[in-house]
Amino acid sequence: MKFTFPFAAILLFLISTSCEFNQSVKKDLATGAYSRGDGINCDEVSININEELDNRNEFIFGEGVVIYFNDIQGLKKIEGKTYPGMSIYIIKNEKDTVVSNANLLEEVKDGTDLSPLQLHAKFGAIFPYKNDEEYKLFVEIWDEKSDGKFNYELPFTIKENELLEINSKGIKYSQIYLWNESLKSPVFKNHIDSRSELILILDGIEGFDLNQGRAFPTFSIDITDNSGNKILFTPNLLFENEDIGFNPDNLKKQLYAKFNFSSSQVDNPCKVVAKLKDQNSNKELIVETELIVEHHNE
């Protein structure tokens, strides 16, 4: 079973209208964003993160990012319609393309009479970050009926979700995060609705000592509330393969643990501890967090 982000680098747009402009250059000192208009101008570019206005360029792994281009002006109007085009690219470490879309508005061939013109691009911050990777977003907006264009660049980085405390001794991973299956979204804050289905996800697991080419991990989860009441304890979620082990390549795909608090009255906070251990060595990976469970009357 593989869990993916619904917005994994999905790009969206909205539309509206136009006017007439020459050249403009702007630099946002807070984020390093750069824009240049040549015949097309956009006075307001805003960054929304997880549906909230937030002018920053360091994103937490899994956050949903939307760049809004508001009140775009300068496109040639023909019989009350404008004909915009829009491309978007994300480049890693100045060389590797991780997102590419040559024209988000390809289906808007007949133009639009909406006003004012607003375009937006959306992506999920789900790119590698453990080696201090650096990214840059490139957006170009152009006029299909003239030479006008507008370019926007945003450098950004991604950091680990600090909701989880992760301690690794010899076991490597690419990403570890808590997923709210009910909301189809990563969890960034420790307040949790008791009705939510939660999944602790471990991606890219490797580093086990092999026995005849097989890995022999155990994966436990222990949830206890503030009074010491045991909410959940599973000593080994991988018990079905405890004796025969795993192909190590399969462990790289994804490990996960599901849990919820729907049937429990708890004394907050609840401590969650997940342990992945290697039976052939003393290697282990421990993931911990504390959650505040909020119960609601139906």
Query: Tens digit of pLDDT per residue, the chain (298 long)?
Result: 566 555 444 444 444 333 344 688 999 999 999 999 999 999 899 999 999 999 999 999 999 999 999 999 999 999 999 999 999 999 999 999 999 999 999 988 899 998 899 999 999 999 999 899 999 999 999 999 999 999 999 999 999 999 999 999 999 999 999 999 999 999 999 999 999 999 999 999 999 999 999 999 999 999 999 999 999 999 999 999 999 999 999 999 999 999 999 877 899 999 999 999 999 999 999 999 999 999 876 5
How far apart, in whole angstroms, are the C-alpha atoms of residue 247 and residue 2?
17
Residues 185 and 171 in one domain: yes
Domain for residue 14, yes or no? Answer: no
186 prior amide bond cis, ω within 30: no
Interior/surface letters 226-235, b for 16+ CB within 10 angstroms, e for the rest: eeeeebeeee
Q: Last residue of a domain, which of 135, 159, 183? A: 159
How far apart, in whole angstroms, are the C-alpha atoms of residue 178 and residue 130?
17
Domain for residue 1, yes or no? Answer: no
What's the alpha-carbon Rg for the chain, to the nearest Å?
24
Q: Last residue of a domain, which of 103, 132, 159? A: 159
Tally the domains of the chain. 2
Q: At which residue do the structure tokens 């869990």 appear?
A: 3
Please give the residue range of the domain that contains residue 129. Answer: 23-159
Beta bridge partners of 275: 220, 286
Residues 215 and 131 in one domain: no
Residues 193 and 98 in one domain: no
Residues 123 and 46 in one domain: yes
Residue type, 88: I
Continuous H helices in 182-276? 248-251
Residues 142 and 89 in one domain: yes
Tokens for 170, please give them: 């010899």
Residues 100 and 194 in one domain: no
Residues 60 and 187 in one domain: no
- Which CATH number do you get for residue 278? 2.70.50.60
- Give the DSSP H/E element, type plus range, for residue 143: strand 135-143
